[in-house]
Structure formats: C-alpha cells, structure tokens
Structure 1
Amino acid sequence: MSQQQQARQRQKREILSNDDKERLKERLNTSYSADILTIARHFGSRPLATTARVTDIDINGITIEWQWADATKRKSATDEMQFAFRDISGPSSVLHEVSNLAIEAHKALGLAGEPQLTKDKREVDAKNLVDFTFRLPGALTMASIAFGVWLLTYMALVNNVHPRLRFIRHWVSQDTCYHLFVWALIVHALEAGAVYAFCYLLKVIQPQQMNTNTQLKWTLGVALFGIACLHDFAKRVSRQFALVGAN
C-alpha cells in the first residue's frame, strides 16, 4: 500500500473520535432504543426479540446485539449483526444511516408512523439544513433567456441575417457579437463548473442535502440559464452559511 493510500486510510479512521462513538452509542441506546429494537427484529429475523442495543460503532458500520426467547432451549439467546455504512462524513451521517435502516425495518414490519429517530432528525435538519432541491426558473425567465441566447448565437454566426434584424448590425458588429457569444460560453462554463464543485463538496459533507441527480440538475441549469439559476443557488448557499453561523 502506498503512503498516499495509507494516509487516506488514517484520515478515514479518524472521522469518528472515541468520544463521538460513545456519545452516539449512548444516544441510540437511550433515546432511540425502540428504533434499534425494530432494526434487530427485521434484519435479524427475530420479530420476538425482547431487547437490542448498539455495542460498537466504527467507520465501517454499526454493530447491534439483541436478545430473543429461544423456545427450544427455554432460555434467552443472544445474536448480533454489523450493518455496513456507506462513506460517512461524521456523527450526523451515522444517524442518517441508522435512520434509513429504521425506516426500512419499520415498513417491512408494517408498523404505523415512522421511527422516532427519523422524526427528530427531520426536525433538526429543518432548523439547520437548507433544501437544495433544484427548481427551474419561471417560464417567462426561461423564454427570455432562450430568446436572448438564440439571438446572440444567430447574430454571431450568421453573416447574412434576416432583413428585420439588420438594424442590429448598425449598432453591434458581427465580430462584437461573436466575442460576446464566446465570452458567454466561457462564463456559463465557469459558473456551471463552480456549482458542480460546490455540489460535490456538499454531497460529501451532507449527503442528505445533495445527491448526484440534484448535482447534475443544478450544473445543467446554471449552464443553460446562467445567472437565473446561479442566483437561486447562491441564495440557498448564503442561507446555509447563515444557519451554520447561528449555531
């Protein structure tokens, strides 16, 4: 293994400190013990499990141990299972992973409502996380931008323009239109690249806020509609930084 790979492995192991692990275990085993039991009953195929608790958390996953009544031996038996994590970024993403497990187990067992962890996490996220769901600009805005792009492209690339548009040539030469066209492409490409990079960073840090599909939508939206989409994206980023600063 190269030194670079070893450094990445060390960094990965250090994402969760020992204090983080202990705090997460205590929180899951006290505030969300019912959700942990639901996970054990479903994924452990022990619907009659009586108790369950988290015994270990590390970068690879969470280990849950549960007890169930073994009728054949007339005594309690103990099993455990490790649930693998995706590439986590910190304690918050651990809770997100466990919440997903609890939701799946809840649905599989046909339980009403939703896990308590999911409810609490959604309330916390609503106070601390901005919704980055992509939305198209208004129809009038998109139509105006589409017309402007078409007109600039036409005036930049066509020598013998339509008679009704020749008056534009008296004000703006074809060379000027061509330079504006090239600069517009460059600016839109830079804007789209910056949004793509920021979305990627957000996807790593807060995967519940951003996924690959939304990242591509924002990138394509900014590439096509420029400032109209970029302004919306920048406002959400500004609100997110304001929330982080307030906390």
Structure 2
Amino acid sequence: MSQQQQARQRQKRELLSSEEQERLKERLNTSYTADILNIARHFGSRPLATTARVLDIDSSGITIEWQWADATTRKSAKDDMQFAIRDFSGANSVLVEVSNLAVEAHKALGLVGEPQLTRDKRVVDAKNLVDFTFRLPSGLAMASIIFGLWLLAYTALVAKMHPRLRFIRNWVSQDTCYHLLVWAIIVHALEAGAVYAFCYLLKVIQPQQMNTNTQLKWTLGVGVFGLACLHDFAKRVSRQFSIVGAN
C-alpha cells in the first residue's frame, strides 16, 4: 500500500461523522459558551467580543466565529479563525485542544480559576483514566535489587573473589552465575521493551495519560528494577482495562 493510500485511509478513519460533529458543536456551544468566548477574545484580539460559537470541526481544525460591536460603524461585526488540531483522533482530541486553548486564553485575560471545560474534563478523566505517573519502588526493594544484581555480576565476572564471598563458589559455579546474569539481562530487556511498546501505544491513543518523559521513566525503571516496577505498571494496565470493560 502506498503512502498516499495510507494517508487517505488514516484521514478517513479520523474524520468525525456529520452527526458527531453536530453533537460536539452543540455541546461546546451550549455548555462551554464562556470558554469559547474567552478563546475568541484572546486569540482573535477582540477583548470586547460579545458572542462566540463553534462553526465547524474536522481534521483540519476547529473554526470559531465571534461578534463584537464596531465602534466606528456602530454595527455588529463578525470574524472567525481556524485553530489547528495537532493530534486529531476524534471527539476527545478536539476537547483536549479546546481545553488547552481555553486555559491559555484564561491566563492571558487574567481570569481567576480554570475554564469550565478543563474542570469537567478532569472529573471525567478521573473516572475513566488511570494515572500512569511513574513511581519508584520502595527504598528497600530498590536496594535489594541493586545489591542482588551487583552480587550476581560480581560472581559471574570476577574469578578471584573476595575471601569473605568465596563461600558462594561452594554453591554456584562462576559459569552458572554468568548464565544467570545473561538471562537476567535478557529478561529485563524484554520486560523493558514490552513496557516501552505499550507506553507508546498508550501515548498515541490517550496522550493525556502518557508522554515521552513518562514512557522513558517506565522503560528505564522496568529495565533496572524488573518485576518491582513491572508489577506496579501491570496493575495500572489491569485497572484501565477494567474501567474500559465496565463502560
């Protein structure tokens, strides 16, 4: 399949249906009129705009129209602006983009608090999205894992061990330790690769849950601490699937 065909198919998948567009426009124009007006006032450089509404939504962006009283002609004037949607993947991506625009406009206009859309999205996300913020394992777990890996590497790579550690040779040979070290590295690398791939998928589907910085933290954490981090990550993934299944 050519790149042009892939691009057309991707665009076709991403476009909202006319019914979805109308529902989303109605939602924005009825529930979030103040947020849309603030976006127009700030980005349209019309602080005295009186009304604003969403005209159109598609993969090219969201178009907002606003009105203001022209002091020169003493008549109502109109203007509009299209805002690009950087990661268009459906209704949720549009709401994220509008929320970001509203936050920026809110701050620029010196308004107190947060936009209504931002507050509502936070409530909905808290019910439907699991927090994937990276957290290190407990100090005891990290110390135990680092000591265990160091001891395994030491017994695998050092032939003349410290006298106090030579008793280990009575239980496990250097060759065995070496093979265990190689397998430990392979397992940790496979675990880290799987987590990296899942984080990448999550970043594409739900960018508000995952970013590149968090993806790298989880990958490095699992790569170093193995199951101690993987178990925490797997629990969050399981909770997310449970929420999706319940909905």
TM-score range, shorter chain: over 0.9
Secondary structure of the structure 2 residue equivalent to 1:187: helix
Q: Residue type of the partner of 1:124? A: V
Match of 1:80 in 2: 80
Secondary structure of the structure 2 residue equivalent to 1:66: strand
Alignment of 1:102-141 (within 5 A): 102-141=102-141
User: How many Å apart are 1:153 and its aligned residue?
Assistant: 0.5
TM-score by length of 2: 0.97
Please state if 1:211 is matched with 2:214.
Answer: no
Secondary structure of the structure 1 residue equivalent to 2:65: strand
Alignment of 1:1-247 (within 5 A): 3-15=2-14, 16-247=16-247
Equivalent pair of 1:89/1:204 in contact (CA under 8 Å): no
Secondary structure of the structure 2 residue equivalent to 1:154: helix
Equivalent pair of 1:13/1:59 in contact (CA under 8 Å): no
Cα deviation code 1:178-208 (max 9, x no counterpart): 0010001100110000000000000000000
Give the Cα separation in 2 of the matches to 1:180 and 1:229.
Answer: 20
State the aligned residue count.
246
Give the Cα separation in 2 of the matches to 1:30 and 1:87.
Answer: 24
Cα RMSD, aligned residues only = 1.0
Further displaced range: 86-95 or 153-162 = 86-95
Q: What stretches of structure 2 of length at least 5 have no aligned partner?
A: none
Give the Cα separation in 1 of the matches to 2:126 and 2:240.
Answer: 11
Q: What stretches of structure 1 of length at least 5 have no aligned partner?
A: none
Cα deviation code 1:81-120 (max 9, x no counterpart): 0111112222111101110000000011011111110111
Give the Cα separation in 2 of the matches to 1:206 and 1:223.
Answer: 23
Secondary structure of the structure 1 residue equivalent to 2:133: coil
Cα deviation code 1:25-76 (max 9, x no counterpart): 1110111111100100000000100110000111121000000111011111
TM-score by length of 1: 0.97
Give the Cα separation in 1 of the matches to 2:4 and 2:135.
Answer: 39
